Amino acid sequence: MRRVGIRRLCTSLGEGFFGNLFKSFRIFRRGFCNLAGTSGMLTQVLKLRSETRRVYGFLRARDLPEDSLSAAMDFWQIVKKRFMCRSYLDRDVPNEVLDRILEVVDHLPSAGHTQPQELIVIRNQNTKESLALAALGQRYVAEAPLDIVVVSDTRRSKQRYGRRGEEFYSIVDGAFAAMLLMPACINEGLGAAFVGAFDDEAVRAVLQLPNVVRPIGIISIGYCAEKGDKLSRLSRHRIIHYETWEE
């Protein structure tokens, strides 16, 4: 996400916005400097409140460029809210919310645009119970109101890239799909957890997958009933390298 210079941002928002904003502050300043009594102050504050609301509405209504500062703020809010939620409220995920999450499939990246990724949406309780067993007994897979299983049809990757496509690109592309689904869930006020520990053949049996379709991960989704722990992380200076890798 590129940073937006103040000159470009000013151009995007228009002079009218900043003129109104400065006008509001002048009103506020005059209110404190020149008021003779409490009633006069209240009048000026109400004027400021009305002007600020109008200006804020103007800002939100503008068709801002995708790389604007507000878009960057929304992105980082979602990133920082993300954690692996493994406990869910007894509350269903509405179909309209699910539909908005699934819109992400229209934007998935893949090697050579081979598009091997496919999603299997699971609501049936018996199927979720079977998936939980296949996932080495991880109960939250069954307790979540909704699971999405990400799979890759390796034939599409293999057709273009041969063995590397079948054994590597198809997995990476499936991981791309899972990683984009999770912030899409957070954007809808939901929690999600990626499950990668499972018996491949057991998952294949539950979902009736052919051998050429590889399970990549199970994503449990629901309204989260827990708060994420603040985990310690390696310093960015420890994990970011420039030009070559160094110990």
Give the whole-number percent of the chain exceeding pLDDT 90.
Answer: 62
Per-chain mean pLDDT for the chain: 81
Transcribe the chain into DSSP letters: -----HHHHHHHH-HHHHHHHHHHHHHHHHHHHH--SHHHHHHHHHHHHHHHHHHHHHHHHS---TTSHHHHHHHHHHHHH--B---B-S----HHHHHHHHGGGGG---GGG---EEEEEE--HHHHHHHHHHTTT-THHHHSSEEEEEEEEHHHHHHHHHHHIIIIIHHHHHHHHHHHHHHHHHHTT-EEEEE--S-HHHHHHHHT--TTEEEEEEEEEE-B-S---------HHHH--SSS---
Q: Residue 78 has what pLDDT? A: 87
Q: Residue 247 has what pLDDT? A: 84
pLDDT tens readout for residues 97-149: 999 999 999 999 999 999 999 999 999 999 999 999 999 999 999 999 999 99
Give the whole-number percent of the chain exceeding pLDDT 70.
Answer: 70
pLDDT tens readout for residues 158-214: 999 999 999 999 999 999 999 999 999 999 999 999 999 999 999 999 999 999 999
CATH topology of domain 82-222: NADH Oxidase (3.40.109)
Query: Is 87's pLDDT higher than 70?
Result: yes
Q: Residue 26 has what pLDDT? A: 54
pTM greater than the 0.75 cutoff: no
Q: Residue 62 has what pLDDT? A: 41
Top pLDDT among 103 and 50 is at 103
